[in-house]
Amino acid sequence: MTVYESRRQRLYDWMAQENIALAMFEDTESRRDPAVRWLCGMPADALLFLSVDRHSILIPWDTNMAARMGQADILMPYNDFDRQAEKAIRGTLDYLKIPLSSKVEIPPVTPYLSFLRYVELFSDFDVICRKNGIHQEVVHLRSVKDMEEIARYRKIATLTNEIIDLLEEQVRAGSLTTELEVALFIEAESRKRGCEGLGFETLAAGPARSFGIHAFPPYTAGAFASAGLSILDFGLRYEGYTSDVTMTFARGTLSKTQENMLILVQQAHDFALDMVASGEHCRSIGLAVEAFFSKSKKVMPHNLGHGIGLEAHEAPSLRSGDDNDWVLKPGMVFTIEPGLYDNQAGGCRLEDDILLTEAGAEVLTKSRIVLL
Amino acid sequence: MTVYESRRQRLYDWMAQENIALAMFEDTESRRDPAVRWLCGMPADALLFLSVDRHSILIPWDTNMAARMGQADILMPYNDFDRQAEKAIRGTLDYLKIPLSSKVEIPPVTPYLSFLRYVELFSDFDVICRKNGIHQEVVHLRSVKDMEEIARYRKIATLTNEIIDLLEEQVRAGSLTTELEVALFIEAESRKRGCEGLGFETLAAGPARSFGIHAFPPYTAGAFASAGLSILDFGLRYEGYTSDVTMTFARGTLSKTQENMLILVQQAHDFALDMVASGEHCRSIGLAVEAFFSKSKKVMPHNLGHGIGLEAHEAPSLRSGDDNDWVLKPGMVFTIEPGLYDNQAGGCRLEDDILLTEAGAEVLTKSRIVLL
């Protein structure tokens, strides 16, 4: 049994229990959902249907691509349905002879207007759109990585760490002096190592732009790692899975504010790591780090961390919001990324990727604050 | 009056006419909407509210960035609302003293579950979510570029054409021989010319991968422009606006199938261009090209073209679907991109950017099929 089949089997069981006849997963330009890739290998632009009688139907935009990458029982071209989800749903209901009145579950992110349309078109079925349905079940399953995914993360971490070392070396040697050079260096080194690409557009912000949480534009032809604070946030994507690290480069004589930021961010990073343990509430770690910063009258304007996997941001979330009920479990892979930003002094962020095992937290990456 | 103010004035008038008291625009990680940038300059990660009494409130995630780029009347940090849209809506209703029971319009892409939540939380207002509301009005306004946007497009086209020429030159000279080299060349040349970045991830597919409409991964360390057909699809992003062109490189002795594909795609491109005229139905052009291909028993598996602007895909659409009622007007900027793909022979696509003026179609870009 392939890894995709075994994942689908778990969902078929869940569907039987929940009395769901058919479930739709949608990964299109309007709404991306890597659940499709997780369930059948197709990397993008497809609908995937699972039926409680244990059939999977992949409906891809690009059939040549699907023939190579999509591992489902049945393949039907999206073009046969005029690339319209509603026609694909009807086609699937007919093809699989789904009994009238049975439950058909659609993604929880389905727009209100599409939902109305589906309810009207499929009034002969019971169309369901809910928060804690099969899609959330997949989010939960994906949040705990399996043996194969963990092995892949060790590999990605090795590649990421090689590039972290090279970056420090090349910046120290003066070979990378602009945001553009740094970003292109990462692009090239990642592809040479067999990466699919990057997990997200590299954020390389020299001292003139490091005040921003996510620099805009992500990188320019301007100076990087010149006097002051520079932030470099990047991730490699390897067989679909992404790493996500942030380094800070500090050059020259720093102001008291800047020095203080570096110290606090490093301390917050280490403090958060110490709290990582199976059974710990993600929210508590987020709150503790915010409390740590506020003792120094500082505010971190973003979340402390997030799960990584087929998405750069996935479950669990390490934010402090009162609706965050994620609890750490062995197998979870996530970031810790405290940061502080100042309109004049610039910014500092330190981000590492953590794997939680039965034995405790394992810091996969070797990100760092580099003093030049 | 800034360009942002004058755009907002048009919407305030529209709101008065439609009796909408408050409208929300949302550009967040879950749902991107460049309407926010179009209306106030803030490039990402913010909510924007417009009220019928002619106020604009920007609620950004990154306040340092907003202080530099967001041009709205009032700025309130998203963090003050715990980064939750529902709290930001309530805060705005209170701040602007929006009268009870009045109409509050939210984006048409709002998920069903969020819509239910808003209706419950804001039962003291009339929450509206519809297809042809203020958001669609913005889509219409954005589909016809103003003088400033057209000037910007002439500039982007010049930069794009410089890079097209360089690409042909460097590939012919043998300096660019892998997908990676081609992609990094475009990244570097675009930034050197002051571009913000690229409109989308470059698709560089050598002969081994050009069978795919959108190659996956987008580029690799593999060969480009070696014997057979290679596709290169890229776009520059300049001050927010993107170009979008596709070149095909053909090297060596081609099969009859390959030769035929090149000829048909070039003919379809020229044929479509001939049809471009003010008042022409976009759908008709799409249908005509599909009919042209089907005379040779070929099928184009994607749409003929699409508007470009702050998004790589925006209105008008040149697809042949029976629900496409876009009509060409002077000021529209869009692509024409016929393509054919074969599992064995590979693929060919030719894409140019067109500006429609009162005088007719102006082909802004100089994309081409390069025979090597």
Instruction: List, as one string, the DSSP characters of B43-96.
Output: -SSEEEEEETTTEEEEEES-HHHHHHH---SEE--GGGGTT-HHHHHHHHHHHT
Please report which confidence band the pLDDT of residue B9 belongs to, taking 50, 70 and 90 as the band edges: very high
User: What rounded mean pLDDT belongs to chain A?
Assistant: 97
User: In chain B, what residues touch A212 (CB-CB under 8 Å)?
Assistant: 62, 64-65
Please report which confidence band the pLDDT of residue B364 belongs to, taking 50, 70 and 90 as the band edges: very high
B341 to A65: CB separation less than 8 angstroms, yes or no: no
A229 touches chain B (CB under 8 A): no
B184 to A180: CB separation less than 8 angstroms, yes or no: no
Closest CA to A205 of A169, A229, A186, A189: A229
- Which range marks the domain in which residue A72 is found? 3-141
Work out the minimum CA distance from A182 to partner chain B, whole angstroms: 11
Looking at the fold, whether A111 and A212 belong to one and the same domain comes out as no
A212 to B65: CB separation less than 8 angstroms, yes or no: yes
Instruction: List, as one string, the DSSP characters of B137-167.
Output: HHHHHHHS--HHHHHHHHHHHHHHHHHHHHH
Helix pair B282-295, B256-275: axis angle to 10 deg: 150
Considering just the CA atoms, what is the radius of gyration of chain B in Å? 23
Instruction: List, as one string, the DSSP characters of A218-240.
Output: S--SSB-SSSEEEEEEE-EEETT
Looking at the fold, whether B200 and B52 belong to one and the same domain comes out as no
Confidence at residue A21, expressed as pLDDT on a 0 to 100 scale: 98
Query: Could you give the CA distance from residue B128 to residue B125 in angstroms, rounded to a whole number?
Result: 9
Looking at the fold, whether B252 and B174 belong to one and the same domain comes out as yes
A321 to B83: CB separation less than 8 angstroms, yes or no: yes
Three-state SS for B27? strand
Looking at the fold, whether A104 and A75 belong to one and the same domain comes out as yes
Confidence at residue B280, expressed as pLDDT on a 0 to 100 scale: 97
Looking at the fold, whether B268 and B317 belong to one and the same domain comes out as yes
Interface test with A, best of B28, B42, B64, B234 (most A CBs within 10 A): B64
Please report which confidence band the pLDDT of residue B342 belongs to, taking 50, 70 and 90 as the band edges: very high
B358 touches chain A (CB under 8 A): no
Domain count, chain B: 2
Place of tokens 């260096």: A185
Q: What is the pLDDT of residues A6-21, one digit of tens each?
A: 999 999 999 999 999 9
Work out the minimum CA distance from A358 to partner chain B, whole angstroms: 33
Residue B15 belongs to a domain with what CATH number?
3.40.350.10
Work out the minimum CA distance from B359 to partner chain A, whole angstroms: 34
Work out the minimum CA distance from A339 to partner chain B, whole angstroms: 13
Q: Give the number of A-B residue pairs with CB atoms closer than 8 Å.
A: 123
A129 to B109: CB separation less than 8 angstroms, yes or no: no
Name the domain boundary from B141, B157, B190.
B141
Question: Closest chain B residue to A342 measured between Cα atoms?
Answer: B64
What is the percentage of chain A residues whose pLDDT exceeds 70? 100
Neighbouring residues of A26: CB distance < 8 A, sequence distance ≥ 6: A33, A36, A47, A85, A107
Confidence at residue A77, expressed as pLDDT on a 0 to 100 scale: 97
B220 touches chain A (CB under 8 A): yes
User: In chain B, what residues touch A180 (CB-CB under 8 Å)?
Assistant: 187-188, 191-192
Confidence at residue B122, expressed as pLDDT on a 0 to 100 scale: 98
B109 touches chain A (CB under 8 A): yes
A292 touches chain B (CB under 8 A): no
A111 to B108: CB separation less than 8 angstroms, yes or no: yes
Confidence at residue B172, expressed as pLDDT on a 0 to 100 scale: 98
User: In chain A, what residues touch B306 (CB-CB under 8 Å)?
Assistant: none
Confidence at residue A218, expressed as pLDDT on a 0 to 100 scale: 95
Q: At residue A177, what is the residue type? A: T
b/e map of A31-54 (b: 16 or more CB within 10 Å)? bebbbbbbbbbbbbbbbbbbbbee
Residues 43-62 of B with CB under 8 A from A: 43-45, 61-62
Q: What is the pLDDT of residues B36-63, one digit of tens each?
A: 999 999 999 999 999 999 999 999 999 9
User: In chain A, what residues touch B45 (CB-CB under 8 Å)?
Assistant: 214
User: In chain B, what residues touch A63 (CB-CB under 8 Å)?
Assistant: 301
Sheet holding B369-371, edge to edge: B203-205, B228-234, B245-251, B369-371
Residue from the list B63, B131, B212 with its beta carbon closest to the beta carbon of A65:
B212
Looking at the fold, whether A72 and A151 belong to one and the same domain comes out as no
- ipTM of predicted complex: 0.93
Name the domain boundary from A141, A159, A177.
A141
Confidence at residue A162, expressed as pLDDT on a 0 to 100 scale: 98
Confidence at residue B181, expressed as pLDDT on a 0 to 100 scale: 97
Mean pLDDT along residues A72-85: 96
Looking at the fold, whether B241 and B299 belong to one and the same domain comes out as yes
Helix pair A282-295, A256-275: axis angle to 10 deg: 150
Work out the minimum CA distance from B103 to partner chain A, whole angstroms: 17
User: What rounded mean pLDDT belongs to chain B?
Assistant: 97
Name the domain boundary from B125, B141, B157.
B141
Please report which confidence band the pLDDT of residue A58 belongs to, taking 50, 70 and 90 as the band edges: very high
B301 touches chain A (CB under 8 A): yes
In contact, A345 and A255? CB cutoff 8 Å: yes
Looking at the fold, whether B163 and B121 belong to one and the same domain comes out as no
Q: What is the pLDDT of residues B227-252, one digit of tens each?
A: 999 999 999 999 999 999 999 999 99
Confidence at residue A243, expressed as pLDDT on a 0 to 100 scale: 98
Three-state SS for B219? coil
Closest CA to B223 of B211, B209, B212: B209
Chain-centroid distance, C-alpha B151 = 17
Query: If residue A292 lies in a helix (H) or strand (E), which one and from where to where?
Result: helix A282-295
Chain-centroid distance, C-alpha A99 = 37
Looking at the fold, whether B29 and B65 belong to one and the same domain comes out as yes
Confidence at residue B266, expressed as pLDDT on a 0 to 100 scale: 98
B27 touches chain A (CB under 8 A): no
Mean pLDDT along residues B131-149: 97
Query: Could you give the CA distance from residue B154 to residue A133 in angstroms, rounded to a whole number?
Result: 49
Cα atoms in the Cβ-side hemisphere of radius 13 Å centred on B86: 11
Looking at the fold, whether A133 and A156 belong to one and the same domain comes out as no
Confidence at residue B305, expressed as pLDDT on a 0 to 100 scale: 98
Helix pair A85-95, A112-121: axis angle to 10 deg: 40
Neighbouring residues of B154: CB distance < 8 A, sequence distance ≥ 6: B364
Looking at the fold, whether B125 and B153 belong to one and the same domain comes out as no
Neighbouring residues of A97: CB distance < 8 A, sequence distance ≥ 6: none
Q: What is the pLDDT of residues A189-238, one digit of tens each?
A: 999 999 999 999 999 999 999 999 999 999 999 999 999 999 999 999 99
Please report which confidence band the pLDDT of residue A167 belongs to, taking 50, 70 and 90 as the band edges: very high
Q: What is the pLDDT of residues B21-39, one digit of tens each?
A: 999 999 999 899 999 999 9
At A49, phi and psi to the nearest 5? -115, 135
Query: Could you give the CA distance from residue A261 to residue A267 in angstroms, rounded to a whole number?
Result: 10
Neighbouring residues of A217: CB distance < 8 A, sequence distance ≥ 6: B196, B197
A216 to B187: CB separation less than 8 angstroms, yes or no: no
Residue B176 belongs to a domain with what CATH number?
3.90.230.10
Work out the number of other CB atoms within 10 angstroms of the CB of residue B324.
18
Instruction: Give the start-end residues of each E strand in chain B.
Output: 20-27, 46-51, 55-60, 74-75, 103-105, 126-128, 197-198, 203-205, 228-234, 236-238, 241-242, 245-251, 306-307, 314-317, 333-336, 339-342, 346-349, 352-357, 360-363, 369-371
Please report which confidence band the pLDDT of residue A43 belongs to, taking 50, 70 and 90 as the band edges: very high
Query: Could you give the CA distance from residue B144 to residue B328 in angstroms, rounded to a whole number?
Result: 9
Confidence at residue B295, expressed as pLDDT on a 0 to 100 scale: 98
A344 touches chain B (CB under 8 A): no
Looking at the fold, whether A174 and A298 belong to one and the same domain comes out as yes
Mean pLDDT along residues A83-107: 97
A214 touches chain B (CB under 8 A): yes
Three-state SS for A345? coil
Mean pLDDT along residues A94-117: 98
Please report which confidence band the pLDDT of residue A298 belongs to, taking 50, 70 and 90 as the band edges: very high
Helix pair A147-172, A179-192: axis angle to 10 deg: 140
B84 touches chain A (CB under 8 A): yes
Confidence at residue A92, expressed as pLDDT on a 0 to 100 scale: 98
A154 touches chain B (CB under 8 A): no
